[in-house]
Every structure is written in C-alpha cells, then in structure tokens.
Chain A
Amino acid sequence: MDRRQFVKDVLLWTAGVGLGVPCWKIAPVRAAPFPPLLGVVKGKDYRLLVEKAVTLVGGMAAFVKTGDTVVIKPNIGWDRSPEQAANTHPVVVRALAELALDAGAARVQVFDHTCNEKRRCYTNSGIIDELKKIGDPRIRWEHIDERKFVPVDIDRGKSLKRWEIYKDALAADCYINVPVAKHHGLSRLSLGLKNSMGVIGGNRGRLHHNLGQELADLATVVQPRLTLIDATRILLRNGPQGGRLDDVQVLDTVIASADPVAADAYGTTLFGMQPREIASTVAAYEMGLGEMDIDRMEIKTVQVG
C-alpha cells in the first residue's frame, strides 16, 4: 500500500467519525421494580454474605446472562488497606466476580478511577490479589484508560447536562455497583450514587459544587443493574479515605438491591441517619430513580454463619 492509498483509506475508515466528537446516547432509565426488594445479610463469612444477599434479590442469573460482559465497580479510590474501610472489601469483590462467572459472564471487568495513585490503590486495596486467586482469564482488572472516556449528554439532568463517562461502564451488559459505606465530609455519606463518580472523567471535583443533584443526574445515565453495598466495616469519621482504625466500625453486613436509591437509603440507616439527610438520595428519589422510604421497601434480612 502506498502512502496516497493509505491516506485515502484512513479518510474512508474515519468518515463521519473523524469529523465530530462522538456523543453517546443512553437509553431511558428502566422503571425501578416496585416495591424495591432489598437483601440485607449479616455474618462473618463475607463470601457467604454476598452469595446470600444476591440470592435474596433474585440470584445472579437475574442480572447476568450467559455471554454477558459484566462490569464490577468497587470503590478502589484510595491508597488504604482493607481494614481501613476506605475501599470495598476485596473478598466482597471477589465473591461478586465469581458469582458473575458462574452465571455465565463472558468477561468480568473490574476498575475504578482512583483518587490516589492508581497502582498503589489497586495493590493496597487488596482487590487485585484477591481477584488473582480466582485464576480465571475472563476476569480483567484494568487501570482507567483515558481513551475510553466518551462525552455523554445527560438529557434528564437538572444540574449536570453533559459529562465524560467511561465507555466500558456504559457498554456493559450488566453493571454492578459495589460501594463501601463510609462517611464523607461534604455529602455526609458515600454510598452507591457517590461511587458512580469512579466511572467519570474530567474535572470531577466540579461536581461537588452541587453534589447531591449532580450525583442524581449522573444516576440517570450510569445505571447499575445491581447495587451491593459493602458494610462489612464502615467508616464513621474522617471519610472518604479514613486511615484510622478508631474510625472504623465492623458491621459484617452487605445490602443488595436492584434499586440504587433504595440501597443507599437503607445504607444510610446503618449510620443512625435518615435517608432524607443525604441530598443525592433525595434528589434521585425526586427524579423517580428509586425508592427512599424504608417503609415502602421489601427488606429480607438474614443472618448467616
């Protein structure tokens, strides 16, 4: 192929693509099932907790079909160890990954857009070591690849109209959100909706200026099929990164739900707070993204082990 031909081919290949920035359109929000079903499981065996919680909300087969691409999005934001409760517990992540594989997932991707240096976060969260133990090539943990951020129009957004979002999170057949429940100075708590900030690019701090509403806006396009809140240990103070074991309380609990707002609302009660105290929960509820009234949820509580 000569140079002239090459240039022609490149132009052909990129026709319509090279001309403008592609913008992703997101399908309308799925109607949340009502009443929302919550699986709340307590016990010492974290693997069992996850299995049971997922079973209570319909089993992994309800979320993952054979051949699906699954994204598991834990919180790996900080260079902290598992017991410091700043990141999702590695055993919880592993259990979910194994359940997804068992349900027939063709590929399970695990990633987070970290706040501290990415390799330190991945290593010291303990998550990579735990995933390696599965020894399955279908599992991929990868660092955020800047090339994969795509601008997304947030049609229903009230405050956030357009932002760069990680393509893999949007393109997954099943997106599973696995936040750790913890304190946060501005939003008071960091739960499922806050965890979605880990799949966006750009100047993320800007969202803080109207955080509650912007997280709700983001939730109209980043839509987990399953939210599993890791409250095996929670960070009570000095969040979201903590660092002091005095600030950590062991609860040995996980919460699973297909309704992201309901999961957050219930998670809030673990801190002795009311769902209405969390701005993002209220904003998302008002936008019809899920339920925040604890009394209107079907909550199955189980103790295992």
Chain B
Amino acid sequence: MIDTRQKPQDARGRLLLLRRIVQHVFLAIFLVLFIKTDYSGSDRLDAAVNILFRLDPFLAAAVVLGVKTFVALVLPSLVVILLTLVLGRVFCGWFCPMGTLLDLSQKLLPARDKKNRTYFPGLPLFLLVFALVAATCGFAVAGYLDPFSILVRGLAQALYPMLNSVTVGFFTFTYQQLPDFVNAFTEPVYGVLQDFVLPSGQKFFQLASFSLFMLLGVLLLEAVQRRFFCRNLCPLGAMLGLVGRKGMFAGHGGNEDCGACRVCSKNCRMGAIDEDRKIDMASCTFCSECVAKCPRQIISFGFSLAGGNELSQGSGVSLSRRKFVAAGLAGFLLPTVKGVEVLAKNPDPLLIRPPGALAESDFLRRCVRCAECIQVCLGNALQPALFQAGLDGMFSPMLVARTGYCEFNCTLCGQVCPTGAIRQLTMPEKHLLKIGHAWFDKDICLPFAKGISCMVCEEHCPTPDKAIRFKDVTIQRDNGQSITIRQPYVVDELCIGCGICEAKCPLPGRSAIYVTNAGEHRHPEKSLTTYAGYN
C-alpha cells in the first residue's frame, strides 16, 4: 500500500533505499556470474559471465588503442558510455560491484578523515592518460588498475579458493572428528555449499597473496576516506567523469540560502561538493545521500539540457596541462624499457600461453588481466604471471603444468576471454593446437635413470595417436642381469604441450617430463628442429 501523503523526507529516503537495493542486486548478480564462470556439464559456456569486462569502456579503449583495430567483443562498453552521457557517473554509484563492496567496507571501516577533501584529485585522470598512451605504445597496464580486474583477480586467485580451503577444512574436521548426530546436520550443509557456492575443487595460485593484498588494499583504503579508490585512483571512474560531466541528468547544488550548512559536502562520499556547495558532475555518482540529508531540501537532481553546475576549479576530474603532458610522456617513455629487458632478447621458455592465445605482442595488448580464464580453467593449469612476460605481463595467464594441465576437450578459456586475447576454438582445432612441447629429463626419469618402469606420462597422454610412446630397451643391471624396460619418448608432430604428463609425473618434486613453449603454434619461428636424426 502506498501512502500518498508521505513527507518529502520519506521520498528522498526511498531514493537512498532504492540505490542500495540496486547496488546489492547488481553485486549479487556479479557474484553469481563469478561462481558460474565454471564448467557446467556442457562444452559451451553462457556468454554472460565475462560481460562485466566487455562493458568496461576503460578496458575497451585500452584494447582498441593497443591493437589499433576494431574489436567487436568490447562493443557492449558503448552501453556504459551512452548511459554515462545521459546520466553521468550513475554506473559508479549504482552498479559498479567494486563501488558497492567499498560502500559495504565503509560500514566496517568508517573513514577517519572528516575534512573530506580528495587527496589526489588529479591522479585518476593521470592514470587514465598514462594507461591509454602506454596501451597505444604497446604497453598494456590498464588491467593493473581497472577496478573489475582487481576485484575478479582478488576473488579468483585468492578469496574464492580461500573460502573453499577453509570450508573444506571445517567440514573435514566435523566429518572425521565429530559424532554422527553432528554430521547429520553438518553434511547436508556441506552438500548445499558444494552444489551452489564452492568451486568443484581446491585451486592453488602463484600470486595468491599479491592478488589478495591488492584487493584488500583497495577495500582497506576506505578507512582513510570514503570511496578512496574511486576518488583517488580509479581510471575507469575518471573516464566516466570525462564522458558524463555534461550529462543531461545533473545535480543542483546549494545556494545562498544554505548559510553555514555543509551537511552535503561533509557527507559526499565522492568529495564532489565543494565549500560553495557546487556539485562537480565529473565526480558525482548520484548516490543521493546529499539529497536525502539536505536539511532544507535545497539539493536536488533533475534533467536539464544545460548540464549541471559549472566545474569547480581544482576539484573533480581535471588535470593541469603540465600533468597531462607528464602522464602522456610517462605512458610514451615507459614502454621503451621493455626493449632493454632481458626478456626482449631471451624470452622465457616456460611462458606457455593458453590454447588459442594470439601471438605474444597482440596477446598482451588485448589481455586485460581479468582472471576469467584463470577462474574457468578446469585443471588449475592457468596461473597469473609475475615477471615471466615482462613488466607489462603481470597477471597475464600462463600454464604451469606441474600444478595443473590443460584438459584435452576443454575450450572454456577462449570462451570467457572478454577481448579475444584468447581465441574461441572449435574442438577439432583445440585437439591439434600446439601450445608447447614436452621434454624428458632423463637424469631423473625412472626408466632412464634407475631402470624402474613407470609410463604414467604415456598413460595420460591425451592425443588419440599417442605423443608419448615407448621403446623396449634392454639394460644391464649391476649384477649383470639383463632386463627389458619400456623407455618413453615424445613424438614432436603429435605433442600439443597440454602438460598432463608433467602434472601427473609421479616423481616427488620436479617432474621428469616438463613442458616449454617450444614449437607453440602462435610463433612459427619457434617450430621444432626436425631433420632425419634418429627417426
């Protein structure tokens, strides 16, 4: 039942409530999509799971500037641009899952700063200019700074596996140590969690702690200032501010009637309201708190073709010409360091990219470090790189076969990649695509080194025509006795570098068979040397 005689205060309170509901609904959708970024019993995945990254105009711009071609996959980002053109930064205040998490963190960690002046108002724009210029010069660091990338990386590479580890640990304790009447209650709970919340198995990540600290850092900065990340760092927010500051939907700030009242500017989480109670529409995210709290109901929002207030000097999204040039120069000059890193001369042979990854330079320019491929990878094979791909390759996916291998019949990473850095493969393509090559370490491989039979690698080799085969070799034991043993070898033309051999090698510690990126499909110059030789 709607009470039509509500006081205006209630109506404004309802706007706040509506915004909170929208925020939490979108956060919930995001989390559900995150959990759904997984094998679901079908070789095809719903396209929606990577949609957040395809909506992101900052990443879209970085990718398009990087590869200098039209990238159809990032077209949905135009929706956010259009939304922002009309409504300003409503995305930041109402829809961004990172923003919602920050607002929730604020409840736990109230900001100590009461002056509410943005610490580094120019920094987001500086980072935006820097990242886009750098991207244009082939140095893709947009993904380091993007809020969604930071968020999904922190979830995929740390929090989600941590949740699983803790939960499994708890229910292992209850299962193994507590009596049946307790388990009658706990086991069904565990079952529900497994079915709907937890990942299908425990994953392990290099950079888990780093990914966690990055996300936690962003969340903890709330204790310094409300929406610290959005105001002082977020390049996506800066971009939306640039696009949306002349939006048709705008705030009308205070006026002379306000007197000494500063309720709005003190409460503004974005620091968008200055001492004169002018609202900077490049910063305002329409959270509506000022409208709800304005004691005299002076502040309001509405449509107007004239746009909002004039930009207040020195606040919000603006950058002096000098800083602008500095950002551009930094973005232009930093990439040159790539050319003198040792990796430029001597690339890391252990940098194995997912199947369908574009040639390295194109791959890095497209990869937005969103961790979607890493999250979806069935075998826990994909890991975020640290410096294996250079300074601008951090968090890009690489296969670390000792931890996990690439499933022969799986093409999910190419399906979730939001930018096409990893191509979508058909199953027949995938089966033949060489991402690396397996090599035996005969000094430790048992049939060679110790005369002990093994062949676990051959058993697991997935190519229908086995890429690992064996020769029956007669060897002489120390006591003079001759025995025949099967010794494995790799068939160059058949090995696709999936790494299951390395993952399953039963030796403790180092595997006796390991994969490098030798012969990978995307770099013809790396094709394996094949002459008659022993064959």
Contact = CB atoms under 8 A, between A and B. Distances in A.
Contacts of B456: 205, 208
B474 interface: no
A242 B463 CA distance: 8
Q: Which 9 A-B pairs have the closest CB atoms?
A: A205-B506, A243-B464, A205-B456, A244-B464, A186-B455, A117-B378, A14-B177, A185-B458, A206-B506
A274 interface: no
Nearest to B469: A185
B407 A18 contact: no
Contacts of B175: 147
B407 A117 contact: yes
Contacts of A249: none
B462 interface: yes
Given A13-B179, A79-B409, A238 B460 contact: no
Interface stretch (A25-33, A119-127, A151-159): A119-127
Contacts of A1: none
A233 to B, nearest CB: 15
B378 A120 contact: yes
B486 A118 contact: no
A116 B464 contact: no
Nearest to A246: B464
Interface in B192-212: 200-201
Interface in A86-119: 115-119
A24 to B, nearest CB: 13
Contacts of A243: 462-464
A227 to B, nearest CB: 22
Nearest to B452: A209
B390 interface: no
Interface in A1-44: 10, 13-14, 17-18
A240 interface: yes
B464 A240 contact: no
Nearest to B201: A118
A8 to B, nearest CB: 14
B379 to A, nearest CB: 6
Interface string A219-246: 0000000000000000000101111100
12 contacts: A115-B460, A116-B407, A120-B410, A147-B171, A185-B470, A186-B455, A205-B454, A206-B506, A208-B453, A208-B459, A243-B463, A243-B464
Contact of A208 (B41, B454, B466, B508): B454
Interface string B36-59: 000101000000000000000000
A276 to B, nearest CB: 16
Nearest to B182: A13
B172 A209 contact: no
Interface in B450-483: 452-456, 458-460, 462-466, 470
B68 to A, nearest CB: 38
A123 B470 CA distance: 31
B178 A13 contact: yes
Contact of B465 (A10, A117, A244): A244
Interface residues of B, number: 38
Interface residues of A, number: 35
B92 to A, nearest CB: 38
Contact of A147 (B172, B179, B459): B172
Interface of B: 39, 41, 168, 171-172, 175-179, 200-201, 378-379, 407-410, 446, 452-456, 458-460, 462-466, 470, 486, 504-506, 508
B474 to A, nearest CB: 17
Given A18-B177, A79-B409, A185 B455 contact: yes
Given A186-B486, A211-B453, A124 B464 contact: no
Contact of A186 (B168, B201, B453, B463): B453
Given A17-B177, A208-B453, A238 B505 contact: no
A247 B168 CA distance: 41
Contact of B446 (A120, A143, A209, A244): A209
Contacts of A79: 407-409
Contacts, number: 91
A205 B504 contact: yes
Interface of A: 10, 13-14, 17-18, 79, 115-120, 123-124, 143, 146-147, 184-186, 203-206, 208-211, 238, 240-244, 247
Nearest to A205: B506
Given A117-B407, A209-B452, A240 B459 contact: yes
Q: Which of B41, B410, B452 has the most CB of A within 10 A?
A: B41
B432 to A, nearest CB: 13
B506 A117 contact: no
Given A205-B506, A206-B506, A120 B470 contact: no
A120 B178 CA distance: 33
A119 B464 contact: no
Contacts of A117: 39, 378-379, 407, 410
A120 B409 contact: yes
A119 B177 contact: no
Nearest to B38: A119
A238 B470 contact: no
Nearest to A184: B459
Nearest to A148: B175
Given A119-B200, A185-B459, A243-B464, A209 B410 contact: no
Contacts of B446: 209
Contacts of B379: 117
A244 B408 CA distance: 14
Nearest to B461: A241
A208 B464 contact: no
A17 B176 CA distance: 9
A116 B454 CA distance: 19
Contacts of A244: 464-465
Contact of B464 (A120, A147, A184, A238): A238
B455 A208 contact: yes
A79 B460 CA distance: 11
Contacts of A241: 459-460, 462
Nearest to B379: A117
Given A124-B409, A186-B454, 18 more contacts: A17-B176, A79-B408, A115-B459, A115-B504, A116-B408, A117-B39, A118-B201, A123-B41, A147-B172, A186-B455, A186-B459, A186-B486, A208-B453, A208-B454, A209-B453, A243-B463, A243-B464, A244-B465
Contacts of B407: 79, 116-117, 120
A203 B507 CA distance: 9
Contacts of B409: 79, 120, 124
